[in-house]
A and B are shown apart, each in its own frame.
Chain A
Amino acid sequence: MRVFAAIIVWLVLSAGAHCAARQSPPVPSSPPDPPDVAAGKLNFEGHCALCHGIDGGGGRGPSLRRAKLTRAADDEALKSLIENGISPEMPPAWFLEPEEIAGVAAYVRTLANVPPEVLPGDPARGKAIYARSGCSACHILAGEGSGYGPELTEVGARRGSARLRETLQNPAKTVLEDFLFVEVVTNSGRTIRGIRLNEDTFSIQLKDQQVRFHSFRKSALRDLKKLRGETPMPAYGTVLSAAELDDLTSFLASQKGKP
C-alpha cells in the first residue's frame, strides 16, 4: 500500500508542478528538511557514545567537541564517515537511514559549540612535569621523544580532559586496541614484552621498550599472552600529587597539534 500511496502523492505533486509551470516562472524546489538534531542526539547516544563519550568529549574514541574534525573536512565527509566507519577502529552505521545519518552529523557539529573546559591545572607547570617525569622516553610530542607509545602532539584534540587524567592515573584502564601489550616466549625460552604492531593467524609483530622490532612465526613461540589491562606506562596516580596531575592534564589538553 505504501508504494501505491507514494506513487499517488508523487503524481499529485508532479501534476501540481506542471500547472504551476504554465502559469508562472518555475518555483525553486523547496529545500530539503533540516536534519533532526534531537533524533541525531539519540542515535549518537545509542551508537557512538560508547567510544566518543555520552557528551562527545571522547573516550576510547576521540573527542568530537571541536570545530575541526581531522577526518571529516565538511558535512558530506562527516556523513560518509558515519555511514562507512573507519576500518578497523570505528564500525560503520550503514543501518541508519540517510536522514538519521544527517541528524547524527548535525548533532556532532553542535558539539563544536560546547564552550571549552576550564581546567584547574597550569599548563606551564604541566610542561615541566612532563619533562621531568620521563614521558618523552616513550612518547613523541611535537617531533621530540621516542615513538614507543602513542603520539601526543594533538592528544588534547583527540581526548577529553577526563580521559587524559584517567590515563595518567591508571593507564591500564584506557589502553587502546592498537597498543595491545603482549608477552611472547620463544621455543628457546626467550621472553619478550612489547606493543603489538600486527598479527595474523601465523605470525605476530611487536616492538619492545627500546623500540626494536620483533617478528615471530607463531609456530616458533611456546607462549603468546595478550596482556589485556596491562601497559608499559607507569600509573602516575601514585607518583604525582593531585595538583601535579591537574597541571599535567592541563598541559596535555593544550596539545592540539597543527593549527
Chain B
Amino acid sequence: MIRTAQRPAILLLAFGFIFWSAAFAQVPFERIANADKEPDNWLTYSRDLQGHRFSPLTEINRQNVSRLKVKWAFQFPDQRAEVSPIVIDGILYVTGPNSAAAIDGRTGRSLWTWSRPIPSDYHSIGFGHTNRGPAVLDDKLFVATLDGYLFALDLKSGIERWFAKVLEYKTGYSMTMAPLAIDGKIVVGVSGGEAGIRGFIDAYDAKTGAQAWRFWTIPGPGEPGHETWSGDTWKTGGGATWVTGAYDPELKLVYWGVGNPGPDWNGDMRPGDNLYTCSFVALDANTGKLRWYFQFSPHDTHDWDATHVPMLFDAQVGGAKRKLIAVANRNAFYYILDRATGEFIAGKPYAKQTWAKGLDAKGHPIQAANNEPSKEGNLIWPNLNGATVWFSPSYDPQTGFVYVATREIGGRYFKRETPYRVGTFFAGGGEDELPPDDAWGAIKALQAESGELRWEFKLHSPPWAGVLSTAGGLVFSGSDEGNFYALDARTGKPLWDFQTGGVIGANPVSFTIDGHQCIAIAADRVLFVFAL
C-alpha cells in the first residue's frame, strides 16, 4: 500500500533507525548513572546504582492495574529462576546457572543463548544452582558463573569477549549474584559462607577483564580488624559477598554487604567480633580500599548475613540534609547510616526478634539472654533465613517509604562441633524451623529515614521474592504460593494478583516495549511479562 515515491524516504528512515539503535544499544556508564533519564530501560540490577528498584513509569497505575494481563512467558531450562533481568531498548537479558539469553521483548522469543557446562565435581554448598542476573556496560553483558568465572559476552550475539577466573570452586567458593557495573569496572562478590571460605569483593576492568582490585572481607595478619579473629580462624572465616551492592558516583564509593562468619552456628570456634562479617563495607571505587564499615551483628551465630542491596538516598535528619544508606537487615533491625562516614543514625526492629534488647547509641546490639544456638536447640526469632534475605527491598522517592518483603518466623538453633575440610560444609550446627502455619510473611512499608512502620500487607507464608515500586503508585511482589500481586504504595491495599503456578523467588522489574509499560517476574522456571 506504500506509494513508490515514499519508499526512499522510509528506507532512509529505517536505516537511520537501525544505525541509531545500534549506536544507542551501547550502554556507557553515563546511561546507567542517569537511569532516571530513561525509565523505559532497566540497565542495572536495581535499575539505579542507588539500589532503589523503583521505576518512574506511570502507565500502569492504581486506577488500571486491575486490567494487567500476561503478555508472554519464557521458559528457562532450570527450575527456581531468581533472575532480575536487564532490559535495553526492547531486549531482555536474563541469566540462569552458567547460562544467559537475550529475549525479544515483543514476543518472548530468544535472540541468542549462551551456556557453559557446570563441572561434574561442582557442588553448591548451602544454596541451590542459581543466578540472579547479569550486568551491562558499553557493548558487553557480564555474567558470573557457579564455577567461578566472570564472562563478558557480546551484547548482540552472546559470543564471549573475555573471561576472568575469579575463584576456585573446589575450595567451596561460587558465584550467584548479578555483577555491578560501575565506571569502567565490573564488581563481583562470592558465595561460600557455609564452606569455610575467606570472602572477598573483586573489581575487573570492563574492557579487558584484568583484575583492578580485591578487598578481602576477612582481614589478614597485620591488617586492621585481624585482631577480631583468633589463631587461624580468619582463614576459614566466611564473609561471603553474594548479593549485588550499590554505588554512589559522586562519593565514588562502592557499598557491599558481607555475609556470616564461619562456622555459622558455633561461635566458640572463632572468638571475637569477626570483622567484617555481617557488615556493610564502603570501598573506594578506584582502589578497593576500605573507607568505612558498619557491623550489624558482631560475632554472629545465626547465619544473619548482611548481604542485602543497600539503599542510598538523601533525607532530612535532625534538621539537616544527610547522605544516607539504609538496610532492612536479616537480623530483623532496620538501620540508617551516613553513607559518607558510616556513622549510625537510627535503627529499630521491623520484624519479630528475640535476640537483642535493642541497639545502643552507636547501633551495636544489646544482647538478650538465651540467644545462642545450643546442643539441645534454642528457639530464637528470626530463623536462620532472617527477617528478610537476599531478595531486594525498594525505596520509593514519591512516598518516602522503603518496602521490605518480611519473614516472620523463628527457628530452634543448634550448635555442634564441626571439623574444617576443604570444599565441604562447615556450619557447626543448624536449625529446625517452625511449622508453616506458625510463620507468616508481610510486605512492610517503613518510613525511609526513621524505620517507622507505615503499613503492612500480610502474606500467607514467609516470602522469597523482592519488591518493585513504581511511580504509578504501586508495589509489586510475589509469594511462595505463586501469587504475583500489586499493592497501593501509599496504603498497602491489594489491587491486583495473578496465580503464576510456581514459587516466586525473584525480583520484579519494569520497562517499556513499543512504548508501553511492562512488569516482569520469574516464577519457578517461567519468566512472565505483564502489560495492560
Partner-B contacts on A (CB < 8 A): 1-3, 6, 46-47, 50, 88, 91, 93-97, 177, 180, 199-203, 219, 226
Task: Verify B436–A96 contact, CB threshold 8 A.
Answer: no
Task: Verify B437–A91 contact, CB threshold 8 A.
Answer: no
Task: Verify B429–A95 contact, CB threshold 8 A.
Answer: yes
21 CB contacts below 8 A, A to B, read: A2-B419, A2-B420, A6-B422, A91-B433, A94-B126, A95-B265, A95-B414, A95-B430, A97-B425, A177-B437, A180-B437, A199-B460, A200-B481, A200-B482, A201-B458, A201-B459, A201-B481, A201-B485, A202-B483, A202-B497, A219-B494
Task: Assess whether B109 is interfacial by the CB under 8 Å rule.
Answer: no
Q: Using CB atoms, name the residue of chain B closest to A228.
A: B437
Task: Assess whether B235 is interfacial by the CB under 8 Å rule.
Answer: yes
Task: Verify A97–B418 contact, CB threshold 8 A.
Answer: yes
Task: Verify A202–B425 contact, CB threshold 8 A.
Answer: no
Task: Verify B483–A201 contact, CB threshold 8 A.
Answer: yes
Beyond A95-B427, A201-B483, A203-B499, 20 extra complex contacts between A and B, CB < 8 Å: A6-B421, A46-B377, A46-B414, A50-B432, A88-B436, A95-B414, A95-B425, A97-B418, A97-B425, A177-B435, A177-B436, A199-B481, A200-B460, A200-B483, A201-B458, A201-B479, A201-B481, A201-B485, A202-B483, A219-B494
Cβ–Cβ < 8 Å partners of A91 in chain B: 432-433
Q: Shortest distance in angstroms between B430's beta carbon and chain A's nearest beta carbon?
A: 2
Cβ–Cβ < 8 Å partners of B372 in chain A: none
Task: Verify A93–B485 contact, CB threshold 8 A.
Answer: no
Task: Verify A3–B431 contact, CB threshold 8 A.
Answer: no
Task: Assess whether B232 is interfacial by the CB under 8 Å rule.
Answer: yes
Cβ–Cβ < 8 Å partners of B376 in chain A: 46
Cβ–Cβ < 8 Å partners of A3 in chain B: 235, 420, 422
Q: Shortest distance in angstroms between B125's beta carbon and chain A's nearest beta carbon?
A: 10
**4 shortest interchain CB distances as A-B pairs:** A95-B430, A200-B481, A201-B460, A202-B497
Number of interface residues of B (CB under 8 A): 34
Task: Verify A47–B432 contact, CB threshold 8 A.
Answer: yes
Cβ–Cβ < 8 Å partners of A199 in chain B: 460, 481
- A177 to B436 Cα, complex, angstroms: 9
Q: Shortest distance in angstroms between A25's beta carbon and chain B's nearest beta carbon?
A: 29
- A97 to B435 Cα, complex, angstroms: 23
- A96 to B428 Cα, complex, angstroms: 9
Task: Verify B479–A1 contact, CB threshold 8 A.
Answer: no
- A203 to B482 Cα, complex, angstroms: 11
Q: Using CB atoms, name the residue of chain A closest to B235.
A: A3
With A95-B430, A95-B431, A180-B437: A202-B485 Cβ-Cβ less than 8 Å: yes
Cβ–Cβ < 8 Å partners of B435 in chain A: 177
Cβ–Cβ < 8 Å partners of B231 in chain A: 1
Q: Using CB atoms, name the residue of chain B closest to A203.
A: B499
Cβ–Cβ < 8 Å partners of B479 in chain A: 200-201
- A95 to B433 Cα, complex, angstroms: 12
Taking CB atoms and an 8 Å cut-off, the chain B residues in 508-526 that contact chain A are: none
Task: Verify A200–B422 contact, CB threshold 8 A.
Answer: no
Partner-A contacts on B (CB < 8 A): 126, 231-232, 235, 265, 376-377, 414, 418-422, 425, 427, 429-433, 435-437, 458-460, 479, 481-483, 485, 494, 497, 499
Q: Using CB atoms, name the residue of chain B closest to A50.
A: B432
Q: Using CB atoms, name the residue of chain B closest to A226.
A: B437
- A202 to B485 Cα, complex, angstroms: 9
Task: Verify B437–A96 contact, CB threshold 8 A.
Answer: no
Q: Using CB atoms, name the residue of chain A closest to B265.
A: A95
Contact of B430 among A96, A200, A202, A219 (CB under 8 A): A96
Cβ–Cβ < 8 Å partners of A201 in chain B: 458-460, 479, 481, 483, 485, 497
Cβ–Cβ < 8 Å partners of B265 in chain A: 95
Q: Shortest distance in angstroms between A231's beta carbon and chain B's nearest beta carbon?
A: 15
- A1 to B431 Cα, complex, angstroms: 28
- A95 to B485 Cα, complex, angstroms: 34
Q: Using CB atoms, name the residue of chain A closest to B232.
A: A1
Q: Shortest distance in angstroms between A122's beta carbon and chain B's nearest beta carbon?
A: 37
Q: Using CB atoms, name the residue of chain B closest to A198.
A: B481
- A3 to B481 Cα, complex, angstroms: 44
Cβ–Cβ < 8 Å partners of B418 in chain A: 97
Cβ–Cβ < 8 Å partners of A95 in chain B: 265, 414, 425, 427, 429-431
Cβ–Cβ < 8 Å partners of B436 in chain A: 88, 177
Q: Shortest distance in angstroms between A33's beta carbon and chain B's nearest beta carbon?
A: 14
Q: Using CB atoms, name the residue of chain A closest to B433.
A: A91
Task: Verify B494–A202 contact, CB threshold 8 A.
Answer: yes
Q: Using CB atoms, name the residue of chain A closest to B497.
A: A202
Cβ–Cβ < 8 Å partners of B421 in chain A: 6
Cβ–Cβ < 8 Å partners of B497 in chain A: 201-202
Q: Shortest distance in angstroms between A47's beta carbon and chain B's nearest beta carbon?
A: 6
- A88 to B494 Cα, complex, angstroms: 27
Q: Shortest distance in angstroms between B108's beta carbon and chain A's nearest beta carbon?
A: 25
Cβ–Cβ < 8 Å partners of A202 in chain B: 483, 485, 494, 497
- A88 to B481 Cα, complex, angstroms: 12
Q: Shortest distance in angstroms between B432's beta carbon and chain A's nearest beta carbon?
A: 6
Cβ–Cβ < 8 Å partners of A96 in chain B: 430
- A176 to B458 Cα, complex, angstroms: 24
Task: Verify B499–A200 contact, CB threshold 8 A.
Answer: yes
Q: Using CB atoms, name the residue of chain A closest to B457.
A: A201
Q: Shortest distance in angstroms between A101's beta carbon and chain B's nearest beta carbon?
A: 11
Q: Using CB atoms, name the residue of chain A closest to B428.
A: A95
Cβ–Cβ < 8 Å partners of A97 in chain B: 418, 425
- A192 to B437 Cα, complex, angstroms: 21
- A202 to B496 Cα, complex, angstroms: 10
Q: Shortest distance in angstroms between A196's beta carbon and chain B's nearest beta carbon?
A: 10
Cβ–Cβ < 8 Å partners of A88 in chain B: 436
- A36 to B479 Cα, complex, angstroms: 41
Cβ–Cβ < 8 Å partners of A226 in chain B: 437
Q: Using CB atoms, name the residue of chain A closest to B375.
A: A46
Cβ–Cβ < 8 Å partners of B420 in chain A: 2-3
Cβ–Cβ < 8 Å partners of B414 in chain A: 46, 95
Q: Using CB atoms, name the residue of chain B closest to A4.
A: B232
- A169 to B236 Cα, complex, angstroms: 55
Cβ–Cβ < 8 Å partners of A177 in chain B: 435-437
Cβ–Cβ < 8 Å partners of B126 in chain A: 94
Cβ–Cβ < 8 Å partners of A50 in chain B: 432
Cβ–Cβ < 8 Å partners of B485 in chain A: 201-202
Cβ–Cβ < 8 Å partners of B482 in chain A: 200
Q: Shortest distance in angstroms between A151's beta carbon and chain B's nearest beta carbon?
A: 22
Q: Shortest distance in angstroms between B121's beta carbon and chain A's nearest beta carbon?
A: 16
- A50 to B436 Cα, complex, angstroms: 16
- A13 to B433 Cα, complex, angstroms: 42
Q: Shortest distance in angstroms between A61's beta carbon and chain B's nearest beta carbon?
A: 12
Cβ–Cβ < 8 Å partners of A219 in chain B: 494
Q: Shortest distance in angstroms between A48's beta carbon and chain B's nearest beta carbon?
A: 10
- A180 to B485 Cα, complex, angstroms: 26
- A1 to B236 Cα, complex, angstroms: 11
